[in-house]
Each structure stands twice: as C-alpha cells, then as structure tokens.
Amino acid sequence: MIKTLKANSIYRTIRKVVITGPIWAVLLGVFIIASVVTPDFLSLRNLTNILLQSSLNGMLAIGMTFLMINGYFDLSVGTAMGFCAVLTIGMQPYGLITAILAALVAGLAIGAINGLFVVKAKINAFVVTLAAFIGLRGLIFIYTGERSIVGQVDGFATFGMSEILGFPTLALLMLVFLVIAEFTLRKTGHGRNTYAIGGNAEAARNAGVPVERTTFINFMLCGLGAAIGGIFIASRMNAATPMLGWPDTNLKIIATVALGGTKLRGGFGSMIHTLGGLLTLAIISNSMDLLNVPSFYNRLSMGLILMLVVYIDAKFKPTAA
Amino acid sequence: MNRAVSKVIGIGKQQGLLVAFAVLILVFSLTAPGLFLTPKNITLVLRQIAIWGVIACGMTLVIVSGHWDLSVGSLTSLTTVVAITLHDKIGPIPAIIIALLVGLLSGMISGYLVGYQKLNSLIITLGMMGVLQAITLIYTGGKYSRIVEPEETWFSFIGRGFVWQIPFPVILLAAIGVVFTILLTRTVYGRRVRAVGGNPVASKFTGIRESFVVMSAFMLTGLLTGIGGVMLGSRMMAAQNYIGSGYEFQVITGVILGGTSLTGGEGNIFKSIIGIVIIGMLNNWFILMGMQYYYQWAAQWVIILAVVWIDVAGKRARAME
C-alpha cells in the first residue's frame, strides 16, 4: 500500500516535470542523438567538459531567468559579463579579493543602472539594456585599450581548472547558485512577487506587491549573475579579451532561458528547467565542436532555436501555469 | 517650479532636436576649430552617415508600426558581402539586384513572423541577427571578400562618386528620405502604419490589415538595408564578414534621437535622419579630438538614456496637464 503510494507519487512527480518542462524530453533526445552521431561524446572527460562550459553561461542564465519571469529582458548581459571579467583580471595588482569585489560591485551597479532607468524613468527595458550593451563594450575597450590582458595570480587560474571529486568546481558552484536561485523563486516573498508581476503587473500592484522594488532587484540579480559569470570565465582563461560577450552572448542566454520554458511575457518559468535548456544548448554546441562543424553553424542553430522557441511559446500556451 | 520645468521641457520638446543639433554644431566647431566646420569634414561625415540614414528611413517605419528590427546590422553584412562577391562573377547590376532581393526576402521573413504569426519582434529579429550573421559566414567560408579590380568598374560610383561636389550617397539618402517622408505622411499606407502602431485595437476595427502593414514595413526596411549594403560595398570595394555588426544600434539610436515614439504611432523621417547626423557628428568629433573610436560607444550609452528620459518625462508632464 505504502509502496504503491510512493511509486505513484514518484510517477506523478516525473509526469509533472515532463508536462511543465518538456525541455527534459528534448534534452534526452539531444543527448541520445549526440551520443550516437558523435564518437567521443560519451567519455567522462567530455561530459565534465560540457558541465564546465555550461557553468559560465549558466550564471548568466540564472540571472536572466529571474528577469524574464519578471517580464523583462536584459540585452546587456554579454558585455556586462565581459566588463566584469576584464575587471577581475585587470584589478589583480590590487589583490585578488579586491578584483573579485570590484567585478561583483560592477555587475550590481550595471544591474542597478538598468533597473533604475526601467523602474524609475519608465524607459523601455529593451532600449535601456541595448544602450548598456554598447556602452559597456566601450568601457571594456577603454579599460583594456583594445588589448587582451593576462592575470597575475596563479592560484586564481588553478581554481578555475580545479575539480572536486571529479566535478569541475565552477560547475558545482553554478549548481549551488542555481539551487539557491530556485529556492528564492519558490519559497521567498521575492520569488512569489516576481511571478505575480510577470503574470499581471497591474493586478500585482493592486494586490500590494512592491512592483518597482522587485523589478529593480531582479535587474540587479541579472547584473550579479553576469558578474559571477565574468569571474568564472576570467578564472578559467586567466585572461580577458575585449571581445568577450560580443556580439551574441545575449542571444544565446535568452535562447537558453526561453528554451527552458520561461514564458517570454513573464510569469512562468523555473531555474531547474533553465538548467535543462542550458545543458541542451551546451550538448548541441559541444557535439558540433567534436564533429568539427564550423562555429558559425552553431550560431545559426542558436538563432533558429530561439525563433522556434518563440513560435512554440506563442502557439502552444500552457493552460495551467 | 514644476510648471516652469515642464514649460522649458515643453518648448525644448517642440523643436528640441533642432536646438540640440544647433548647439552640438556650435560646441563641436568651437572645440575643434578649423577642423570640424570645413567642407571636407562635413562631406566626410555625411558620406559616413548616408548608409545609416537610408536604413533609418525603414527603421522609422518599423518602430512607428510598433515593432523593432535588430537584424539590420547582420543584414548589412550579408548584403554587402553578397554584392561584392557577385560583382566579379555576374556583373554589377545583377549583383545589386540580388543584394536587394536578399534584403527584401530577409525583411519578408521577419515581417511574416511578426505580422502574421504575431511573434515578439524583438526576439524574432534577435534570432534573425544570429541567423543572418551565420549565413554570411557560411556563404564566405569566413573569408575576406573583395572586388579584384576596383578601378575598372562604375560600381564604386554608388559609394564614392560625386555629383556637383555632392557625394552620391548623400543624394541617394536625400531622395530616399523624401520618398519615405511622403510615404509616411501623405499616403494612405503611411496613415495605416501610424494607426497600427498608435492604436492597434482601433485600427483593427477600422478594417486595416495589420498583418500586411507590419510585414510590408519590415520588407521596406529589408530593402533599404539591401541598398545600404550595396552602398557600403561600393564604398569599401571589400568586406569582412562583420562589417555591418553594430549598425542596428547606430540606426536605432538615431531614430530614437529623432523623437520617434518608442511605443509606436508617431515618427518623422527627417528628424530620424537628423538624429543619425548627430550620431555621425559625435563619432567624427571624438576622432577629431584625438580620442579612440570606442569612446563614442560609452558616450552613446549616456546620450541615449538622457534623450529618452527627457522624452518620457516630457510626455508624462504633458499627460499630467
């Protein structure tokens, strides 16, 4: 009796996950296809590599998920990440801690500027973040003087390459952040407010939800995600180039989150499903790399996937969110 | 106090753009004496902005109809490369025609998806941006393309030629600007574009075929981007694959500076072109002042936020009255 109940609840949980997040079925399909067509795909080394690669974009996608559930986009995440990576490397003469703090503060500040102009000045979020996207590229070039810069702290690079029990540390960190983010979405007032605003901002306002504060915080979370992503990439390469995050990281991240099932109009989505989108795209680009497909086909697939997701999103609305 | 402020804003708003234009010319010529306000420099600036200006005519239409087109930069890359590579193979006229058709087709695809399928234009054209850039790279195989004997062809006239001391691209821009001003302000079609953007619900009840209007606005933008690509190809006589990357930002900035409403419904082609000229003058001034070209990106971040803020605040002040 108890056993069947338990089996039943497990079945129901799986069913719920598949219904609310068809991305997992897609991920499974992509995984099977990749292991069949790509010779070296199924090695442990490659699988950890995929995890490591997705940890960088993962941090950006976590922040973007908050914002997209809230009903906004941030087109500046790519160059925000680049700027924070450049700061992490460039500020190292003042100490590693200072450099990391500078990157975090910069990310939060970028998010705060974007959020302030959207919330207080009521400017279209798309214009605000597109302007920041180009502006930050300018700041990156000004700071680096158009050159690549190399880190000076060796331990920092070792950290980026390190592993815990065979898992890349950065990937584990990303997963920890993801779990915290999911917890924040599900169990805290801020998370509930975010869903409420994305679902219907006017109703949320009437119900007493602090719409402006919540949106502002989500912009800052998006900036923070970009900052941590930037620190990750800086520690993995132990260097930063002015071209980091240009030109289509924003495209990739929005595609990731949308593929994970977060509604483009907001109000629906989850971090766990974003992880599904992240792994799916990471597997696609990884097997394309292994098959020696030129990298521009990768970009082509990102663009097409994004357009396809928007189409599905518009045509097959879930009846119950 | 508040009233005085809103009155100043009101007057500034009336002819704010032209006031700003005059002030900027004054400031630039005082800070760069003998360099800025010379016939040679003015010609240079106008020649540089002609391509953005042509694309901006279409972008104004798209924004007035309530949508965005982020793909114009990548489309410029593609049409430029197409025009250049085909020039030596099939001759200038067929090459130009095919480049224009490529632009038209791309605009038709975005326009169909946005107009008929009612998909989010921002995401669709962001996806198109990735797709078109990838197609450019696939088409050229990542190689630099150029016209082998640039001195032997009349093709260079489009981008480099002069008619009575006036650069031909500027004449082209003026002609297209006049045609599109008439189209937007004096024709039934233009009235429909404005109606669709300004009040979609009402325009539906009056029987305007919204889908077609939106699609045609995108198609015209695609066509103009094709013309821009031909002009760019003809000026450079060679192209790398990312040649148009970032154009979407220059064009959108110019259109926004020109006071086109971000929510659709109103816009002015002439002012969009003035907005583009301001961007061009600014870039030129940075270089005359001995600063690196990338300072302009950071400056544009500030300028666009300031201008849109003033615009939004002015509208709110008027709404209050």
Domain residue limits, chain A: 41-315
Q: What is the CA radius of gyration of chain A?
A: 20
Measured between CB atoms, does B287 come within 8 Å of chain A? no
Average pLDDT estimate for B7-12: 62
- B113 contacts in chain A (CB < 8 Å): 307, 311
Highest mean pLDDT range out of B60-69, B195-204, B254-263? B60-69
Average pLDDT estimate for B221-226: 94
3-state secondary structure chain B: CHHHHHHHHHHHHHHHHHHHHHHHHHHHHHHCCCCCCCHHHHHHHHHHHHHHHHHHHHHHHHHHCCCCCCCHHHHHHHHHHHHHHHHHHHCHHHHHHHHHHHHHHHHHHHHHHHHHCCCCHHHHHHHHHHHHHHHHHHHHCCCCEECCCHHHCHHHHHHHCEECCEEHHHHHHHHHHHHHHHHHHHCHHHHHHHHHHHCHHHHHHCCCCHHHHHHHHHHHHHHHHHHHHHHHHHHHCEECCCCCCCHHHHHHHHHHHCCCCCCCCCCCHHHHHHHHHHHHHHHHHHHHCCCCCCHHHHHHHHHHHHHHHHHHHHHHHHHHC
Measured between CB atoms, does B78 come within 8 Å of chain A? no
ipTM over cut 0.85 = no
Predicted pLDDT at A320 = 41
pLDDT greater at residue A116 or residue A314:
A116
Contact between chains at B134 and A117 (C-beta distance less than 8 A)? no
Taken in order B122, B123, B126, B127, is the CA torsion positive or negative? Answer: negative
Measured between CB atoms, does A23 come within 8 Å of chain B? no
Exposed, middle or buried: residue A320 (CB in 10 Å: 0-12, 13-18, 19+)? Answer: exposed
* Residue A122, C-beta contacts closer than 8 angstroms, at least 6 positions apart: B312, B316
Nearest CA in chain A to B67: A126
B61 Rama sector, left if φ>0, alpha if ψ -120 to 50, beta otherwise = alpha
Report residue A164: phi and psi, to 5°: -115, 115
Model confidence at A319, in pLDDT bands (50, 70, 90)?
very low
Predicted pLDDT at A59 = 94
Enclosing H/E stretch for A150: strand A149-150
Question: Which one-letter amino acid corresponds to residue B241?
Answer: N
Report the top-level CATH class of A41-315. Answer: mainly alpha
The pair of structure tokens assigned to A62 is 């976590």
Q: Which of B123, B295, B305 sits opposite A254 (nearest CB)?
A: B123
> Residue B154: pLDDT above 90?
no
pLDDT greater at residue B321 or residue B268:
B268
> Residue A219: pLDDT above 80?
yes
- Name the DSSP letter for residue A174: H
What is d(CA B141, CA B320) in angstroms, rounded to the nearest whole number?
57
Beta strand A163-164 pairing with A149-150: unpaired
| Percent of chain B at pLDDT exceeding 90 | 20
* Residue B85, C-beta contacts closer than 8 angstroms, at least 6 positions apart: B139, B140, B145
> How many angstroms separate the Cα of A231 from the Cα of each of A50, A99, A202, A243?
18, 9, 37, 15
Reported as a single tens digit per residue, the pLDDT across B63-112 is: 988 888 889 999 999 999 998 888 888 888 888 899 999 999 999 999 99
Predicted pLDDT at A218 = 95
Q: Could you tell me the domains of chain B?
A: 34-288 (1.10.3470)
Report residue B37: phi and psi, to 5°: -90, 50
> Residue B13: pLDDT above 80?
no
Q: Which of B123, B295, B312 sits opposite A264 (nearest CB)?
A: B123
- A142 contacts in chain B (CB < 8 Å): 292, 294-295, 298
Least confident of A17-26, A128-137, A251-260, B54-63: A17-26
